[in-house]
Structure 1
Amino acid sequence: MQSEGILRLFERLAIEAGQAILAIREKGHDVERKGDDSPVTEADHAAEAIVLEGLQSEMPGVPVIAEEEMAAGRQPDISGGRFILVDPLDGTSEFIKGNDDFTVNIALIENGVPTIGVVLAPARGLLWMGAPEGAVLVTVDMESGVPQERRAITCQPPSKPLRVVASASHRTDETNRFIARFPEAQTVSVGSSLKFCLLAEGEADLYPRFGRTMEWDTAAGDAVLRAAGGVIVTPDDKPFIYGKTDQTDDCDFANGWFVCASTADLLKDLRRD
């Protein structure tokens, strides 16, 4: 399947999963706790089932690493270097609170790099898509599931004052100290992978994350950001890669800290500081 076909498949599956999530939110749901004490709901499971079924049908043979499958101990072999990461409901805590900052994330990883990804915010009716051809923002009628307006998006040069986006639920002292380096900065708190999308749209300049995430949390947003011209690196300026297994200091697919920027030049300025 070519890039355009994969992107359209991811788009369709994300919208179908998003419709299921909204239907469950409307009727109400219970909250359970996984082994790591993170919350999970019926919506997480329903959305993941939709995405997995579609991927297995249309892209058989491509391994899929999905959050709830991993929680159940089901981890396929990714040694071929090409696999898919799925977070069926990123921002479960925001979903439980009744907020709109939750997303459906699907991304294709090739040799450690997220090359194609989609991020759907079902409650907002917005879908961000990233591929080698560029990044696009789509408005979606979530009732019918029909995409509406599409427009290309790109990261923008840093504004003055700097616009910094950070987690709404998982701010750490390290993140706060990093942001404090820019006392004039405008700081926006938002949940889930929407932080990547704000940079990709040109609505923010910097996203520091000095706290733990998993690869399925970041891959789709990362794909959109890279497609829009943004960059992501580790705090010591190394490439941010995917498919991390057999880690001595953490579990499979756990991320280290990272910094996202709208331009490579902004990262260079940060290093000089």
Structure 2
Amino acid sequence: MLEILEKSAIVAGQAILDIYGAGPAVIYKADTSPVTDADHRAEHIILADLAAAFPGIPVVAEEAVAAGHVPDIAGGRFFLVDPLDGTKEFVERNSHFTVNIGLIENGAPTAGVVYAPALGVLYSAAAGRARKAIVEAGSVAGCWTSIGCRRCADRPLALTSRWHNSVETIAYLAERGITDYEAVGSSLKFCLLAEGLADIYPRFSRTMEWDTAAGDAILRTAGGETLTVAGKPLAYGKRNQPEDSDFANPWFIARGRV
């Protein structure tokens, strides 16, 4: 399965780069978030690949859900797809945008692929192994490298959202004496934790499950965790939430080894 997800993410990423070079057409959804022709083209590629390879597994994809197409996920096993995470990064010509494909089983992310096409970096995880590779000319170049979270440093490095930081996030860091932090876009924050390059990522602003599933799978496989503010593992497949929309995440703290 993982090889199919990796190949699909790479092909979708190439389609994104083609539009990135030509200049995307941007429109804004009802929630004021941007969407581009690259989002739609990449999602079309991924959905076709998943339907061909795994016809029995439902797919919850960001743009399809925005259009009102939500599959039945009662079986507990489904894919979450964000074809272009970090659309603002993409529009602003920042390289921190990603293609995300995550597999959910019984509410937990068990496999995931995150591809940063402008950086040429591919992360993936399943079956207890997290890894990273460089992508060149549409394929993995050289060998895969195993990755893992580091023990929290004496002087922790935190990651924050480039576009969606909040006063609650800054307060959380200040309360814990964490003064070193970097703003990073998209699901790369999870991957940097998984790679052992940072220690904690508190998120006290809105995210959706397709934003986090793939990166969260990689982080958990690499030895980290993603917890709600109540200390419970972030769950997936959240429907009929009384205080929020389907598939919306609560605030969370992602971190490496403690």
Q: TM-score, normalised by structure 1?
A: 0.92
Q: Deviations over 1:124-169 (max 9, x none)?
A: 000111112310011110x333443310000011112111111011
Distance, in Å, in 1 between the alignment partners of 2:186 and 2:132 is 17
Matching residue of 1:65: 60
User: Counterparts in 2 of 1:96-175, with a 5 A limit?
Assistant: 96-141=91-136, 143-175=137-169
AA of the residue aligned to 2:131: V
> Do residues 207 (structure 1) and 218 (structure 2) align?
no
CA contact (8 A) 1:19 1:145 kept: no
AA of the residue aligned to 1:168: R
> Do residues 239 (structure 1) and 233 (structure 2) align?
yes
Distance, in Å, in 1 between the alignment partners of 2:233 and 2:194 is 19
SS in 2 for 1:180: helix
Aligned residues: 258
> Do residues 77 (structure 1) and 98 (structure 2) align?
no
Distance, in Å, in 2 between the alignment partners of 1:253 and 1:178 is 25
Matching residue of 2:244: 250
The farther-off stretch of 23-32 and 99-108 is 23-32
Matching residue of 2:15: 20
Identify which of 155, 159, 175 aligns with 1:181: 175
Identify which of 26, 37, 52 aligns with 1:31: 26
CA contact (8 A) 1:65 1:86 kept: yes
Q: Deviations over 1:98-133 (max 9, x none)?
A: 000100000010000100000000000001111123
> Do residues 44 (structure 1) and 39 (structure 2) align?
yes
Identify which of 219, 223, 227 aligns with 1:225: 219
Distance, in Å, in 2 between the alignment partners of 1:184 and 1:256 is 22
Q: How far is 1:29 from its partner?
A: 1.7
Which residues of structure 2 form unaligned runs of 5+? none
AA of the residue aligned to 2:234: F
Q: Deviations over 1:151-196 (max 9, x none)?
A: 0000011112111111011001111101112445320110000000
CA contact (8 A) 1:16 1:145 kept: no
Distance, in Å, in 1 between the alignment partners of 2:177 and 2:228 is 23
SS in 2 for 1:130: strand
Identity of aligned pairs, percent? Answer: 53
The farther-off stretch of 6-15 and 176-185 is 176-185
> Do residues 89 (structure 1) and 84 (structure 2) align?
yes
AA of the residue aligned to 2:135: V
